[in-house]
């Protein structure tokens, strides 16, 4: 028997797993029992737990190792974050596996891996780029064709491409499981595999597994275009008599004037959410056409007083890593992306989506919308209708209404209409003034509001939640006023405090004065506090469990989780080592952490401590 049959996980009756995950798992197990070399397709919407499904799918299914193939670096990092025992540790935290000794061996494939390391793995995670047959370092040139019994392909809409097909053909006898959250393709090819499970987005949205979704369309009633080299101002209809619709849509998308309107409305939406839920670090995700376009959009947001992190393919690995750390540490309010976050990156606090580019591919549109769908946990939020109610904003004239209708109604899933996606290069953006029209406009207004689910108006639910907060505050203010205890000035001064109390969660607050006035002092104190807390937490856990801190009894439990752990390491040293590895993985080396990251580390320490308690 293999590891995946020897270990008995807690899946089917696990209340911490989501119903779509359990239902999909049962379908996967039943399918491969009848089709030992079959090829299956599972559709699970973004934010529903696709990476978690990857973690549980092999149990009772795979007779040998499992290969997980991802389309890019960001998607791979997301899968590693879920699967790796030193990251989120899905199996332990969701009570799938209780004993650390039963944890699977998980590694990312690298060219310099030892053969012996590969052979010890239960899961191997690899980008498709590491599977190019013509590269000496390719995994295909390192292992025999029967090395894996199950191949899991994340983001399956890519796997029709030749590179993927060649890799799958090499492991021809292995079971193949394709997973996707967006079953749309932009070409004539069918999605691979036999569809055995499909959870509709509408269903998981109604069940609150993901954020609700609404949209607001920006319109300028008087919009005029001037063709390069001419002085005549033209209306939209006049332009369309002379130019293609694509030319007009690109002109609007690349126009600073129209972009500023989208920026203003996205900031309005963010501010409105934060007014009623000030302690949740909501952010704007702004999607640009090209790198230069993204840089301009970043500057325009900064001019509006917003902190911005930009992410694009022109950044080196260190810059990208720092950018993602900034996002995870809430050091920005706006994330500007050029397709980099389109796929695989999940940050649950992305709530406002500002689109500055046209789309023609339903898959690309669905991918970017999926980035704002991951729900924020119930214990962090003020009200679901406020905090888990994402909003998509775009200018009407970039032609996204059709995309929204297709996506929200899910009527095009089976048609797979071939389309050519818009591509706007940096060269095209730089030369926009001599290629596309200049645009003149008057004040914008929100011309159209829509909700993803028929019968559930998410815009109205947001307003209702906001009004409920106002009613509760007003009721308390009126009671104070009627009591006569406070003067009118004192009542007015109390109102804002009551509002904050009404919406904030009952958790400790960051000392903003110390943070802004004495950041280095805070940094030094936080580092000291973090170190003491790790030691104190380790000793407290050991005392709770009656474990001698200076013995070595925890070595067997942690040897697979801590690289280089020696049998002579004491129990308290093992726990402190484990805690520090977890914190470093999430926030980087302690000496390099900014004050905000150190404060976040203190909060995350509580998560790691609870995890250790469950392990013991």
> What pLDDT, on a 0 to 100 scale, did the predictor assign at position 38?
93
Distance CA 387, CA 370 (A): 16
| 8 Å CB contact between 100 and 560 | yes
Q: Which of 100, 88, 9 is nearest to 51 (CA)?
A: 88
Q: Which of 146, 76, 139 is nearest to 111 (CA)?
A: 139
Q: Which residues pair with 334 in a beta bridge?
A: 284, 308
Distance CA 55, CA 219 (A): 45
Q: Is 341 helix (H, G, I), strand (E, B) or coil?
A: coil
| 8 Å CB contact between 144 and 59 | no
| 8 Å CB contact between 42 and 196 | yes
- The DSSP annotation for 314-327 comes to TS-HHHHHHHHHHH
- The DSSP annotation for 428-487 comes to HHHTHHHHS-EEEE---EEEEEEESSTT--HHHHHHHHHHHHHHHHHHHHHHHHHHTSS-
Q: What are 450-505's pLDDT values in tens digits?
A: 666 555 566 666 666 677 767 777 787 777 777 777 677 776 767 666 655 555 43
Distance CA 539, CA 534 (A): 9
Distance CA 479, CA 377 (A): 33
334: left (phi over 0), alpha (psi -120 to 50) or beta: beta
Question: In order of start, what are the domains of the chain with their CATH numbers?
Answer: 3-204 (3.40.50.300), 211-449 (3.40.50.300), 464-503 (no CATH), 512-615 (no CATH)
- First and final C-alpha spacing in the chain: 27
Question: Beta 445-451 vs 212-219: how paired, if at all?
Answer: antiparallel
- What residue ranges of the chain have pLDDT lower than 70? 1, 72-76, 82, 84-87, 156-163, 183-190, 339-344, 409-465, 469, 486, 491, 493, 495-533, 595-596, 599
CA torsion 450→211→389→207, rounded to 10°?
Answer: 80
> What b/e readout covers 487-504, taking b as 16+ CB neighbours within 10 angstroms?
eeeebeebeeebbeebbe
Task: Look up the pTM and report it.
Answer: 0.69
Q: Is 290 helix (H, G, I), strand (E, B) or coil?
A: coil
> What pLDDT, on a 0 to 100 scale, did the predictor assign at position 321?
83
Distance CA 276, CA 271 (A): 9
Q: What are 573-590's pLDDT values in tens digits?
A: 899 889 888 888 888 887
> What pLDDT, on a 0 to 100 scale, did the predictor assign at position 453?
55
Q: Which of 282, 288, 330 is nearest to 311 (CA)?
A: 288
Q: Is 545 helix (H, G, I), strand (E, B) or coil?
A: coil
> What pLDDT, on a 0 to 100 scale, did the predictor assign at position 187?
45
Q: Which two tokens stand for residue 257?
A: 């004037």
> What pLDDT, on a 0 to 100 scale, did the predictor assign at position 205?
82
Q: At what angle do helices 245-253 and 256-276 cross, to 10 degrees?
A: 60
Three-class SS of 87-141: CCCHHHHCCCCCCHHHCCCEEECCCCCCHHHHHHCCEEEEEHHHHCCCCCCCHHH
Q: Which two tokens stand for residue 448?
A: 């159209």
Q: If 0-12 CB within 10 Å is exposed, 13-18 middle and 19+ buried, where does residue 269 land?
A: buried
Q: Which single residue is written with the structure tokens 């499904």?
A: 53
Distance CA 338, CA 192 (A): 28
Q: If 0-12 CB within 10 Å is exposed, 13-18 middle and 19+ buried, where does residue 563 land?
A: exposed
> What pLDDT, on a 0 to 100 scale, did the predictor assign at position 225?
84
| 8 Å CB contact between 208 and 383 | no
DSSP state, residue 375:
P
> What pLDDT, on a 0 to 100 scale, did the predictor assign at position 159?
47
> What pLDDT, on a 0 to 100 scale, did the predictor assign at position 518?
41
Q: Which of 80, 96, 98 is nearest to 88 (CA)?
A: 80
């Amino acid at each position: 028997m293999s590891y995946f049959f020897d270990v008995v996980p807690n899946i089917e009756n696990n209340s911490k797993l989501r119903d779509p995950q359990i239902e999909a798992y049962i379908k996967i197990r039943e399918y491969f029992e009848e089709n030992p070399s079959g090829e299956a397709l599972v559709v699970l919407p973004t934010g529903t737990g696709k990476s978690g499904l990857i973690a549980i799918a092999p149990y009772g299914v795979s007779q040998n190792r499992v290969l997980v193939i991802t389309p890019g670096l960001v998607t791979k990092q997301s899968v590693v974050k879920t699967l790796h025992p030193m990251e989120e540790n899905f199996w332990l935290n969701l009570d799938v596996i209780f004993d650390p000794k039963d944890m699977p061996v998980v590694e990312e494939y690298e060219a310099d891996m030892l053969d012996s390391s590969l052979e010890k793995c239960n899961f191997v995670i690899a980008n498709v780029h590491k599977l190019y047959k013509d590269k000496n370092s390719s995994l295909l040139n390192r292992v025999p064709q029967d090395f894996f019994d199950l191949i899991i392909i994340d983001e399956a809409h890519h796997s029709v491409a030749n590179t993927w097909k060649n890799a799958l053909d090499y492991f021809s006898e292995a079971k193949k499981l394709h997973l996707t959250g967006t079953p749309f393709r932009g070409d004539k090819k069918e999605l691979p595999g036999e569809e055995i499970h499909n959870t509709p987005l509408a269903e998981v949205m109604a069940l609150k597994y993901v954020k609700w979704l609404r949209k607001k369309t920006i319109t300028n009633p008087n919009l005029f275009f001037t063709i390069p080299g001419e002085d005549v101002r033209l209306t939209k209809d006049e332009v369309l008599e002379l130019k293609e619709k694509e030319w007009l849509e690109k002109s609007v998308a690349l126009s600073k004037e129209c972009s500023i309107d989208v920026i203003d409305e996205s900031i309005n939406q963010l501010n409105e959410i934060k007014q009623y839920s000030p302690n949740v670090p909501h952010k704007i995700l702004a999607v640009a056409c090209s790198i230069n376009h993204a840089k301009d959009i970043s500057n325009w947001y900064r001019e509006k007083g917003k902190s911005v992190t930009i992410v694009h393919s022109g950044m080196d690995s260190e810059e990208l890593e720092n950018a993602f750390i900034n996002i995870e540490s809430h050091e920005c309010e706006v994330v500007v992306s050029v397709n980099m976050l389109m796929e695989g990156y999940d940050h649950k606090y992305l709530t406002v989506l500002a689109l500055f580019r046209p789309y023609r591919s339903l898959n690309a549109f669905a991918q970017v919308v999926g980035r704002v769908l991951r729900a924020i946990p119930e214990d962090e939020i003020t009200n679901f209708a406020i905090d888990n109610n994402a909003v998509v904003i775009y200018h009407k004239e970039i032609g996204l209404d059709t995309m929204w209708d297709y996506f929200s109604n899910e009527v095009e899933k089976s048609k797979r209409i071939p389309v050519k996606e818009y591509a706007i290069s940096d060269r095209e953006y730089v030369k926009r003034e001599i290629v596309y029209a200049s645009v003149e406009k008057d004040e914008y207004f929100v011309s159209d509001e829509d909700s993803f689910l028929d019968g559930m108006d998410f815009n109205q639910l947001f307003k209702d939640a906001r009004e409920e907060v106002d009613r509760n505050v007003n009721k308390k203010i009126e009671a104070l006023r009627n009591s006569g205890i406070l003067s009118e000035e004192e009542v007015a001064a109390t109102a804002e405090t009551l509002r904050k109390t009404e919406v904030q969660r009952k958790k400790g607050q960051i000392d903003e004065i110390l943070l802004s006035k004495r950041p280095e002092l805070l940094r030094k104190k936080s580092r000291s506090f973090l170190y003491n807390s790790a030691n104190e937490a380790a000793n407290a856990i050991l005392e709770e469990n009656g474990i001698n801190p200076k013995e070595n009894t925890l070595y067997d439990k942690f040897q697979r989780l801590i690289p280089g752990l020696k049998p002579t390491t004491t129990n308290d040293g093992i726990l402190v080592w484990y805690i520090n590895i977890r914190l470093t993985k999430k926030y980087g080396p302690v000496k390099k952490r900014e004050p905000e990251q150190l404060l976040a580390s203190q909060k995350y320490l509580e998560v790691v401590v609870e995890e250790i308690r469950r392990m013991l």
